[in-house]
Amino acid sequence: MEALCFVASPTPLFRTTTQHSAFPPIRTLTLNTPKKSNKNQPSIITATLTNPKEQIFHKPSRLDSLNTTPPELMKVSSASLVYESGFLGVVPEKKAAPAGKGGDGVHNATTYLTKILSSKVYDVAVETPLDYASKLSERLGVHFWLKREDLQPGVFSFKLRGAYNMMAKLSREQLDRGVICSSAGNHAQGVALSAQKLGCDAVVAMPVATPEIKLKAVERLGATVVLVGESYEQAQEYSRKRAREEGLTFVPGFDHPDIIAGQGTVGMEIVRQMPAPLHAIFVPVGGGGLIAGISAYVKTVYPGVKIIGVEPYDANSMALSLYHQQRIMLDKIGRFADGVAVEVVGKETLRLCTELIDGVVLVSQDAICASIKDMFEEKRAVLEPAGALAIAGAESYCKYYGLKGENVVAITSGANMNFDGLRLVSQLADDGRRRKSVLATFVPENRENIKEFCQLAGDRSSIENEILCRFVIPDRPGALMKLLDAFRGRWNISMLNYRGQGESGGNVLMGLQVVSSEMDEFKALANRLGYDYAFETGDEALPLLMPS
């Protein structure tokens, strides 16, 4: 008789850096440059690496060879900073200082206040509503508000604000030469729509794994799309290189004063729309442009309001930069919430966040999916993962601190969900609220055996020398076969379970019969594969699956 019951695993994936936490663990890029196309004939172009095979089977461990990391930045693992979901971590030192020593001082953001007030965003953007979320409010015991940037017309994201604010300030000569940007999707749409409004050509470099809905949206807006690289950083390297060579104006996704000021108009609207004293605004964080802009405005006019960033556990570059008090580069990054999958935050955004924000909350993929479901039940709207990130952070924070009766705002930052991703979201949503478990059992066909199973679930036999290991593999042909080929013939594979995760890859749960003397060999081989992995040992249900 065998039984299997899974709950969410706390086991962290293996990486090389030491973990920094007050809590126990919760668990030269060479490109072929395409020719400039006519703006009336938008196209999608793939810019390949010098070795096409390398692009298909690229190992994250070889990012050093791509020369996309500025030499002054150290590489850090996302798993090196882990704390409990909902906890307000990495509070900047100025915020933690005692009164009279910088903890409650006036923040130096007045120059941004002027930029925000004079922003040109309303030539194309609209003031989005601040909606009351009655169901979330009742469940959490707070007054929960949603700043609906997912309703921004044309692009369904706040990104239009910053892109247009910067581009509208370019000279006619600069516009005639054209603009270029790198983006995982929403900034690309903002640039493309702004270019359409201002009458200029736009080229957009996007990572090869960008969801199709974002590719098609950019193409429809008249921009030329170039698919290049595995990450935002590689796409940005291509964009900057081409901007230098062709005289195009590079429009950054976040690290520019005009971009930050454009995004800051979201904070200005919240202050104007909020009918009562506000406890906190929860902001999704990628490169930091949105939270920098919001904090620059809100902390100037209402310094007592908390500005709290929210990041996924596997894409926490801002939290790690605040922790190390310098910009870092993530060695590997989770792509489920692709809108915030940024390896390196901006210089100016980090400076503002260090001075202004109140900390960062980290959340899991399951929690994000649960918040997508919450939003659908609340407003019948479907958010993309990055768009629901702030809701997940706000919910976790309210539960962790037992917050009651306060007004909190979460930014719903985007609704460009790839339809194929809805299957995964629906599967993981209940996991995020701990509402679901999976039970599997094998018993002889006898009417008494179900009763016997319930009574004797603790009576189990062992499988000698068996380990259970979880791998995260890329979502591309050949990745699973590569994993199986690495171990086949060396150790017996006693169990295999694969679960696709869309753009973020796939989880492989593998049981292998490995004796203790061979563990070093196993780890060395697993490390050479270049896939993240973890030994599953901490889940309370594992003794039922692999008894000892």
Catalytic residue among 77, 231, 396, 413: 413
Catalytic residue among 115, 159, 299, 306: 159
Q: How far apart are CA 522 and CA 515, in angstroms?
A: 10
Q: Which two tokens stand for residue 89?
A: 């971590």
Residue 30's identity, in one-letter code, is: T
Q: How far apart are CA 38 and CA 507, in angstroms?
A: 42
Beta bridge partners of 157: 414
Residue with token string 């040992």: 537
User: Which alpha helices (DSSP H) does 303-346 contain, by range?
Assistant: 317-324
Tell me if 130 sits within 8 A of 148, measured CB to CB.
Answer: yes
Q: Residue 459: exposed, middle, or buried by beta-carbon count in 10 A (0-12, 13-18, 19+)?
A: exposed
Find, among 290, 203, 190, 192, the residue nearest to 249 by Cα: 203
Q: Which two tokens stand for residue 170?
A: 């370019």
Q: Residue 153: exposed, middle, or buried by beta-carbon count in 10 A (0-12, 13-18, 19+)?
A: exposed
Buried b (16+ CB within 10 A) or exposed e, 86-109: bbbbbebeebeeeeeeeeeeebeb
Q: Which two tokens stand for residue 109?
A: 């953001």
**Residue 159 a catalytic site member:** yes
Q: How far apart are CA 399 and CA 397, in angstroms?
A: 5
How many CA atoms lie within 13 Å of 330's alpha carbon, on the beta-carbon side? 28
Tell me if 27 sits within 8 A of 12, measured CB to CB.
Answer: yes
| Cβ partners under 8 Å of residue 232, min gap 6 | 182, 183, 184, 207, 253, 341, 342, 343
- Say how many Å lie between the first and final Cα of the chain, rounded: 15
Tell me if 231 sits within 8 A of 341, measured CB to CB.
Answer: yes
Q: How far apart are CA 192 and CA 200, in angstroms?
A: 9
**Residue 413 a catalytic site member:** yes
* Alpha-carbon distances of 252 from 63, 97, 188, 283, rounded to whole Å: 22, 33, 10, 19
Q: Roughly what angle, to the nearest 10 degrees, separates helices 159-167 and 257-273?
A: 130
Q: How far apart are CA 262 and CA 167, in angstroms?
A: 11
Q: How far apart are CA 220 and CA 241, in angstroms?
A: 25
The residues that are catalytic are 159, 413
